[in-house]
Amino acid sequence: MSSNDRSLPADYLAYPWRRHGYDHDRYAWSMLTERPPVQWPGGRSLAVWVNVSLQFYPLNQRGVPFKVPNGMAMPYPDLRHYSLRDYGNRVGIFRLLQAFERFGVRPTWAINAQLAEQTPYLMERLKAFGGEFICHGWNMDHLHTGGQDRDEEAAIVRRSVDTLRALTGQPVRGWLSPAKHQSWHTPELLAENGIDYCCDWVNDELPYAFATEAGELAMMPLTTEIEDQFVMCQNLHSEDAWVDQVKDAFDFLVEESRREGGRLLSLNLHPWLVGQPHRIACLEEVLAHITDHEAVWQAPAGEILDAFRASQQEVR
Amino acid sequence: MKETLGAYDYWPWENRPKITWPGGARVAFWVAPNVEYYELDPPANPQRKPWPTPHPSVPGFSIRDYGNRVGHARQMALLDKYGIRGSVSLSVALCEHHPEIIEMCRERDWEFFSHGIYNTRYTYGMSEAQEREMIRDGIETIQRHTGQACAGYLAPALSHSEHTLDLFAEVGQELFGEEGGIYTCDLFHDDQPTPIRLRSGRRFVSVPYSLEMNDTIVYAVNKVEPRHYLTMLKRHFDRLYAEGAESGTVMCIPTHNYQISCPHRIKAFEEALEYITGHSDVWVATGREIARHYLEHHHDDALHDIQAKAAAAGRS
């Protein structure tokens, strides 16, 4: 068959959304450099958000419609990945707590609601430590994806948020989807459940307004490219290379924030990964570098968002 | 389907006619920032899925959007600092979506060449008439928004047909005579420009663009650490610079504003630019300038040499 015998449907060359802005109506087009400068509390120029993803990877993973990264990879029962992920919640997290204590970190706990339900000891320990809880969905096998039944997804969001609010006694303002994946309805469902901000869209380095039919959300981008699992599990870089990369990112953002206005470094961590004995010192090295610095304001995500909003008010 | 491409002949690296760059430079150095738009919900193509997961594939879409919101200005500041005018590989729909970026590039007299309409619309499965229409749209859009006669082409997402180069050269010539459609970035067979055989017989050139130095290939496909990318860039340059003492070579760094401009990677890029532009006999050029110089001074000699060597090989 020659290439002349075939063609694509005519609409493959039609571009109905080719217009100023985006091919969707979720948020406004805006370049970081064109916005009014941000001021963080105490005259600091770099806000640091240390996020800990606490996750439950079910042994009977359905993997629908795709297998979550870092989930079960072997035929059932995949004991190796199941137990290695569980390690983070039993062992690794306690090494992170020690490190946070030592460096005075005020963390953000992004936790799967089912894990919160299953681990009352851990929840009490985290609550006593302090920090902000945000909802990380139900578990790592309950993905939010296009084509999903809206009612089914609505039930998962509601159950997850309600469960975590009941168990923490906190308002739970923030949401992080498993694998940062969404359906077309996820933002509406979050807004309907009183969620104030979402961390899934990694398209910015500062918060911005995100439209839903149920009211506005704030998007708080939780950078993927520098997070531990992306660098060490997806890119297969060494833990030392990860330390270099976080330090380089930090040093660059400090410089830029002094020159151009407040910036935000978001650092997502997984206790099943950096909580390993051979990696925890690397986390400690990172924390030593990014916490003890005159430019830094370290706070939980919700406080950072509040300070951002206050700063924008002053500008107006 | 053809067994060999047929667009160029075998032509050994040694004993070629000497290439002389302006000012006697050893290396023609150019940077090609890909400024791309990926659609959130592109139509299906029979041969290639635009996103790995059901739409909206938030992780992939949002990091590419990051490139335009955050990364572009950061990369541009560096190119300004080192006196480099970018040669933009442009998803031309970006002229409509984000004209502010086009304006910033235009003010700096950067070159624009076509990289298709969107990086989520592939050539695969198109009829020749459809591909011609897509190519025409690309060239006309660039002319309308920048005033430039588009000289170069990198097929969208590197998706090709057997006639891609022919069609680009034909439409470019039709619209702009000798100015339009003179070079391709789609071939990776050489470290110097080479003549390309077209069905029209028109003089046309391949300008080395380099997949090996392409940041997305380096970071996202080959999973290279940022500091090692710097080492690779320096080694690549050092060898081309050394060989360029005998006959001019070309080095390109193809970039993506969502890769190179991340805070943990931008230092590597900056050090590479400082190193390369710190050498005196480097011709910092654009793709069009390299293609034009080659067509004017070297293309015909090269063609004669290729034909003579092919004839000699046929006699032996």
Q: Which residue of A has its CA nearest to B54?
A: A146
User: Are β-strands B205-206 and B183-184 bridged in parallel, bridged antiparallel, or unpaired?
Assistant: parallel
Amino acid at the residue B33: P
Predicted pLDDT at A313: 85
Q: Cα(A245)–Cα(B228) distance, rounded to whole angstroms?
A: 11
Specify the long-range contacts of residues A219-223, CB closer than 8 Å, at least 24 apart.
A219/A27, A220/A49, A220/A174, A220/A266, A220/A301, A220/A304, A220/A305, A221/A266, A221/B62, A221/B66, A222/A49, A222/A51, A222/A176, A222/A180, A222/A266, A222/A268, A223/A265, A223/A266, A223/A267, A223/A268
Q: Which two tokens stand for residue B215?
A: 């940041």
Of all residues in chain B, the one with the smallest CA distance to A206 is B70
DSSP type of residue B23: G
Q: Which one, of B146, B190, B196, B140, lies nearest residue B169 by Cα? A: B196
DSSP letters, B129-193, are HHHHHHHHHHHHHHHHHH-----EE--GGG---TTHHHHHHHHHHHHHGGGSS-EES---S-SS-
Angstrom distance (rounded) from CA A167 to CA A255: 41
Q: What is the pLDDT of residue B314?
A: 82
Answer whether A3 sits within 8 Å of B128, measured CB to CB: yes
Cβ–Cβ gap A20/B63 under 8 Å: no
> Looking at residue B40, what DSSP letter applies?
S
Point out the residue among A20, A203, A253 whose CB comes nearest to the CB of B65: A203
Measured from the Cβ of residue B18, the count of other Cβ atoms closer than 10 Å reads: 9
Share of chain A above pLDDT 70, in %: 98
Identify all chain B residues contacting A7, using CB atoms and an 8 Å cutoff. 125-127, 129-130
Q: CA-to-CA distance for A89 and B10, rounded, in angstroms?
A: 60
- Mutate which of A33, A188, A237 to test chain B, going by most B C-beta atoms within 10 A? A33
Contact A237 B99 (CB under 8 A): no
Closest CB to B266: pick one of A21, A241, A252.
Answer: A252
Quick: pLDDT tens for A52-105: 999 999 999 999 999 999 999 999 999 999 999 999 999 999 999 999 999 999
Distances (CA, A) of B213 to B141, B150, B202: 28, 24, 30
Residues A143, A197: Cα–Cα separation, whole Å: 19
For chains A and B, CB pairs below 8 A equal: 164
Q: Is the pLDDT of residue A4 over 60?
A: no
Note the pTM of the prediction, 2 decimals. 0.97
The whole-number average pLDDT for the span A299-314 is: 95
Q: Which of B285, B265, B315 is nearest to B19 (CA)?
A: B285
Answer whether A68's CB lies under 8 Å from A81's CB.
Answer: no
Positions of chain B with pLDDT under 70: 316
pLDDT mean over A128-147: 98
CB A76 within 8 A of CB A292: no
Q: What is the pLDDT of residues A243-267, one digit of tens each?
A: 999 999 999 999 999 999 999 999 9
- pLDDT at res. A316: 56
pLDDT confidence bin for A314, thresholds 50/70/90: confident
Mutate to test the interface with B, among A198, A202, A236 (most CBs of B within 10 A): A202
Cβ(A110)–Cβ(A147) under 8 Å?
A: no
Sorted by sequence, the CB contacts under 8 Å of residue B152 that are 6+ apart come out as B87, B111, B113, B114, B182, B183, B184, B185, B207, B287, B288, B291
Q: Would the pLDDT of A296 be above 70?
A: yes
Are the C-beta atoms of B172 and B182 separated by less than 8 Å?
A: yes
Per the CB < 8 Å rule, is B53 touching A181?
Answer: yes
Residue A286 CA: distances (Å) to CA of A150, A247, B112: 41, 7, 41
pLDDT tens sequence across B205-246:
999 999 999 999 999 999 999 999 999 999 999 999 999 999
A2, burial (CB in 10 Å: exposed 0-12, middle 13-18, buried 19+)? exposed
Residues of A in contact with B52 (CB under 8 A): 66
Reference A117, options A56, A178, A197; nearest CA is A56
How does the average pLDDT of chain B come out, rounded?
97
Angle at A17 between CA A14 and CA A19, to 5 degrees: 115
Judge contact between A200 and A182, C-beta under 8 A: yes
Is B142 within 8 Å of B150 (Cβ atoms)? yes
Give the residue from chain A lying closest to B101, CA to CA.
A31
Nearest CA distance, B222 vs chain A (angstrom) = 8
pLDDT tens for residues B77-117?
A: 999 999 999 999 999 999 999 999 999 999 999 999 999 99
Closest residue by Cα to residue A13 from B130, B94, B44, B92 = B130
Residue of chain A nearest B138, judged by CA positions: A13
**B162 neighbourhood in chain A, CB within 8 Å:** 3
Contact A218, A197 (CB under 8 A): yes
Rounded to whole angstroms, how far apart are CA atoms A50 and A105? 8
Q: Which positions in chain A touch B54 (Cβ < 8 Å)?
A: 65-66, 145-147
pLDDT of res. B316: 66
Q: How far apart are CA B156 and CA B151, in angstroms?
A: 16
* pLDDT for res A27: 98
pLDDT level of residue A315 (50, 70, 90 thresholds):
low
Locate B272 and state its tokens.
């590479």
Q: What is the pLDDT of residue B148?
A: 98
Degrees (nearest 5) of the Cα angle B137, B141, B143?
Answer: 120
